[in-house]
Chains A and B, each alone.
Chain A
C-alpha cells in the first residue's frame, strides 16, 4: 500500500486568510485526486490531476501535482466558512489496479 501523508492534520483559520494543505508520498502515482467531506456525508471529488507539474484552478482553490508525481498541494485563497470540512487526497497506481488509497485528511475550520 502506497502511503499518503497529509499535513497539517488540523487547521483553524479566520475568514479571508489563505492556506495550503500538503499531500506527500514516497511512491509515484498515476493520478491523484482531492476530495472534500462534510460531517455525516461521503467525500465529494474536487479535482483529478494526472500530469507531473500540472496546476488546476477551481475558483479560489488551486491544486498542484508535483513534477515527480509523488506529492500534491491544495491552496485556498481567501477562505470562507463554507470551505470548512475534511480534505482528503487519494492516489492511484497501476500496481493496485488504480484502486484509490487515501491520506488521513486535513480537517479545516474557517471561522467568520
Chain B
C-alpha cells in the first residue's frame, strides 16, 4: 500500500458542485500539504498544515478550504467548483527536519470541472 493515498484518483464534475479530495498517510508525519499542478506552471501550494491545530494558506488558497481531521488525514474541498480549478492535485507529507525534510507525494487526483 502507498504511504500517501489520495481519493478519488479521477473525478469529473460540473460547475458549482462541491468536491472533496481526501488524503491519508501512514508515514506518521505531522506536516501535510496540498498542491495543484497545471501544465507549464509546476506545483503551486494551496494549503499546508503543521499539525491538527495549525493550518496555513499557501500561494493559491482562494476557492479552496481544508480540514485536518487527524494527524493522518488532510482533506481539500472546493465549495463551488469552477472550470479553472481543473487540474492535477497532489497531497504530500513531510518528515525530517523543518528545513530539509523530504516531501512524499501521493499519486495525484485528476479533477475536471465542466
Q: Residue B99 at the A interface, CB < 8 A?
A: yes
| CB of B62 closer than 8 Å to a CB of A | no
Write the nearest CB–CB distance from A110 to chain B, whole angstroms: 20
Q: How many chain A residues have a CB neighbour from B under 8 Å?
A: 28
Contact A50 B45 (CB under 8 A): no
Residues of A near B42 (CB, < 8 A) are 6, 88, 102-105
Query: B92–A48 contact, CB under 8 A?
Result: no
Question: With contacts A41-B107, A45-B102 known, is A1 near B43, CB below 8 A?
Answer: no
A90-103, CB under 8 A of B: which get 1 and which 0? Answer: 10101001111111
Indicate if the CB atoms of B107 and A42 lie closer than 8 Å: yes
Given A42-B92, A104-B40, are A99 and B45 neighbors across the interface (CB < 8 Å)?
Answer: yes
Q: How large is the interface on B (under 10, 10 to 19, 20 to 34, 35 or more residues)?
A: 20 to 34
Residues of chain A in range 41-57 having any CB-CB distance to chain B below 8 Å: 41-45, 48, 50
For residue A9, which residue of chain B has the nearest CB? B40
For B98, the chain A residues whose CB sits under 8 A away are 97-98
B99 touches A98 (CB 8 A): yes
- Residues from chain B with a CB closer than 8 A to the CB of A40 are 107-108
User: Any chain B CB within 8 A of the CB of A22?
Assistant: no
A8 to chain B, nearest CB (A): 13
In the complex, the answer to whether B33 meets A92 with C-beta atoms within 8 Å is no
In angstroms, how far is the closest chain A Cβ from the Cβ of B54? 9
**A1-24, CB < 8 A from B:** 1, 6, 9
* Shortest Cβ distance from B47 into A: residue: A99
Min CB–CB distance B105 → chain A (angstroms): 3
Q: A92-B99, A102-B42 are in contact. List 14 more A-B contacts (CB 8 A).
A: A33-B103, A35-B103, A41-B105, A42-B106, A42-B107, A43-B103, A45-B103, A48-B102, A98-B98, A99-B48, A99-B56, A100-B33, A102-B35, A102-B44
